[in-house]
Amino acid sequence: MTTKRTCWAAVPLMAAFLGAVPALAETPKDTLVIVSEMGPNGLDTMVPTANDNSRMVVWQAYDRLVSHGEKSLADGTVSYDAKVVTPELAESWDVSDDKKTFIFHLRKNATFHDGTPVTAKDVKWSFDRAIAAGGFPAVQMAAGSFTNSNQFTAVDDYTFKITFDKPNKLSMPDLAVPVPVILNSELAKKHATAADPWAFDWVSHNDCGGGAFKIDSWTPGQQLVFSRFDGWKSGPLPKLRRVIFRQIASAGTRRALLEKGDVDISVGLPPKDYAELAKAAKIKVIGVPVQNDLVFVDMNVKMPPFDNPKVREAIAYAIPYKEILSTALYGRATPMYDGDPSKPYAPTWPVPIKHGTDLAKAKAMLAEAGFPNGFKTTLSFDLSQATTAEPTAILIQEALGKIGVTLTLEKVPGSSWFAQMASKTMPMVIGEFYGWLDYPDYFFFWNFDGANNSVFDTANYVNPALDTIIDTARFAPTDEIYTQSLQKMVDIVMTDLPRIPLYRRYADYAMQPDVEGFEYWFHTHPDFRKLYKD
């Protein structure tokens, strides 16, 4: 695969940008067209700067050792089942009684897209590479206790072994996320250099996988074309032969193309559009509350005045929670502000905050904290999420103005957002984190564990006592110890309040009525392997 411009539908796409939005030729039943505002910034999930849509790419084009089963949600939507692990590249595995040794038996007929057989040495090289990448990939591997290349052994061509110092319940599910994917090691190494021994640059622009779909072409910022890999052996062969993923900036154009029947699926539309499309009922709309998700306001506890707990609590009483849900989200989210003050917080995550909107109480608490006339600060948000983040920020700005807090809104370009997060220099932040692994301690590991210095800890909150409890939860030998640890973790962060919960967003998808096979996954991207047209 080479990065190039593809000619398919180039004229209609350009016309769409010009506002004409002509009808496209009807696509075949085995071809799916998806439109989105955002696209991948590369084709390699192990590059620390890879964006979320890079995960979408590798999910289709690369295999993992294991996957998950299916279940039905209350509304009938099919979802992956986090509690059921199923074979993918590994057709079977053995786990020792002490849960410190995993042995995977690989499929003997699996090949990469270029026909090269997949062997255990490819698995080991790929896992070593994920750790060597550093940054997000390495921390994700560490969540499952994959931290050292010495843990990985290619016993023979089709047997791969992992060893651990102590058992970790996250180890097996962490093998099913979009980081430990299996690369064609010999192909990648042909393009390695002394400066880039793991071939990050080449893999970022080329197909190096063996998943259900090959990457035929990629025009950055415009279009990706996938075709089915008919030699795929790690699951049922997809019904779709071709998937075209187009990047179109205008939400209005994406909606118009969908309503005219020119595209099959639109992702990333504003909540208002999904709400209207669902009401009209001519387009199929699926909305799933994102698992382990939280959209929040972080306050940098290392910066005055947010180093004062009373100031943080005053802000919590001033947030216009209900207005944010109705005005910015059009109701397409789960509220996280309706906690019962008469009951303790539950040992789970996320939990709804007990602070309702009470401006009088907020102003009194500010005065008690030493700020009777308020203060000035900034509220930052990711410009690539402006559809919901900007109206949320404006509502917060207006509400805090009523208690004397003057907010200047800082719109950070999406390309700089992660760098800004990592700098931990933003006083207030509208942020979001959703956990690929549906465990509260996984969320805490990424967001509040000081040892990680995680990019997602934009509150700059470090609490050694909490770090210890997080580790206790992650490696808890009994359910009782785990539950007790969760209770302590939740109580600490909801008392210290470095982070104010707002809502859990929906993963929304709009599609033509004949699109079937949708399955919700923790990464929130459509799974091309399951989709088809009826």
Transcribe 11-46 into DSSP letters. HHHHHHHHT--PPPPPPPTTEEEEEES---S-S-TT
Return the CATH superfamily for domain 2-264+512-533: Periplasmic binding protein-like II (3.40.190.10)
- Asked if the model's pLDDT at residue 453 lies above 80, the reply is no
Percent of the chain with pLDDT over 70: 95
Question: What is the pLDDT, as a whole number, of residue 26?
Answer: 61
**456-475 pLDDT, tens per residue?**
999 999 999 999 999 999 99
CA angle 57, 205, 243 (to 5 degrees): 35
**258-286 pLDDT, tens per residue?**
999 999 999 999 999 999 999 999 999 99
Buried b (16+ CB within 10 A) or exposed e, 102-114: bbbbbbeebbbbe
Q: Which two tokens stand for residue 192?
A: 């390695």
Top CATH class, 293-506: alpha beta
**320-368 pLDDT, tens per residue?**
999 999 999 999 999 999 899 999 999 999 999 999 999 999 999 999 9
CA distance 434 to 446: 10
Q: Determine the 3-state secondary structure of 356 from DSSP.
A: coil
CA distance 321 to 332: 14
Percent of the chain with pLDDT over 90: 89
Task: Centre a 10 Å sphere on the Cβ of residue 323 and count the other Cβ atoms it contains.
Answer: 16
Average pLDDT over residues 96-109: 97
Question: What is the pLDDT, as a whole number, of residue 338?
Answer: 87
pTM of the model: 0.88
CA distance 244 to 531: 13
- Asked if the model's pLDDT at residue 8 lies above 70, the reply is no
CA distance 519 to 529: 10
The domain spans of the chain are 2-264+512-533, 293-506
Question: What is the pLDDT, as a whole number, of residue 461?
Answer: 96
Question: What is the pLDDT, as a whole number, of residue 450?
Answer: 87
The tokens 């197909």 sit on which residue?
207
- Asked if the model's pLDDT at residue 371 lies above 90, the reply is yes
Q: Does residue 352 have a cis peptide bond before it, meaning omega lies within 30 degrees of 0? A: no
Question: What is the pLDDT, as a whole number, of residue 366?
Answer: 97
Question: What is the pLDDT, as a whole number, of residue 531?
Answer: 98
**203-258 pLDDT, tens per residue?**
999 999 999 999 999 999 999 999 999 999 999 999 999 999 999 999 999 999 99
- CA-CA distances (angstroms) from residue 54 to 23, 129, 371, 415? 29, 17, 45, 14
CA distance 375 to 373: 7
The tokens 């932040």 sit on which residue?
429
